[in-house]
Amino acid sequence: MSSVLCSPDTTYVDVAAQLYTCRELLPGDSFALFERLLTEDVPAGLAQRSGTAPKPKNFRVSFVRGALYLTFKGKYGTQGVALAKLRKITETQASEGRRRASLSGKVMGEEPGSFGLLLECDDKAVEICLESERVRDLWRHVLTVLAN
């Protein structure tokens, strides 16, 4: 989908037509998440290498030089994962440190967050921590469709 959705020659009419295609590929709540990622910041946690509580981040789907990215603000400005280069999406469980921090309410959402998605490209890996299995499944579905 990422190669269809955008290219340097994509017009507004192309994008409008492609959004109808996305609606067919992403029914119900999946399409709602996709729309939110396109139009507003969607909060989730970003796992830390140290195994401590995830850092709250705001994620978006962005078009960058004709490519589709999942982006977030990081220490060095806007960072992201090129969805066309995504080679693997793996469900993960939070480490004990992240789980404790989540249960104490220091992380995002109303529910404890021990549900993660590891997004792997050839040059980087990013783990997103989400508050429930249902939300993780939605994110996985949307990112899988967009990456293909």
Helix (H) or strand (E) holding 33, with range, is helix 29-39
DSSP state of 27: -
pTM of this structure: 0.77
What lies within 8 Å, CB to CB, of 19 at 6+ separation is none
Identify how many contiguous H helices and E strands the chain contains and give both numbers.
5, 7
DSSP state of 69: E
With a cut of 50, list the residues of the chain below it in pLDDT: 96-97, 100, 103-104, 106-112
- Give 55: exposed, middle or buried? Use CB within 10 Å, 0-12, 13-18, 19+: middle
Residue 127 pairs with which residues in a beta bridge? 118
Q: What is the pLDDT of residue 5?
A: 54
pLDDT in tens, 73-113: 887 888 989 998 999 999 987 654 455 455 445 444 434 45
Measure the CA–CA gap between 73 and 51, rounded to whole angstroms: 20
Measure the CA–CA gap between 22 and 36, rounded to whole angstroms: 13
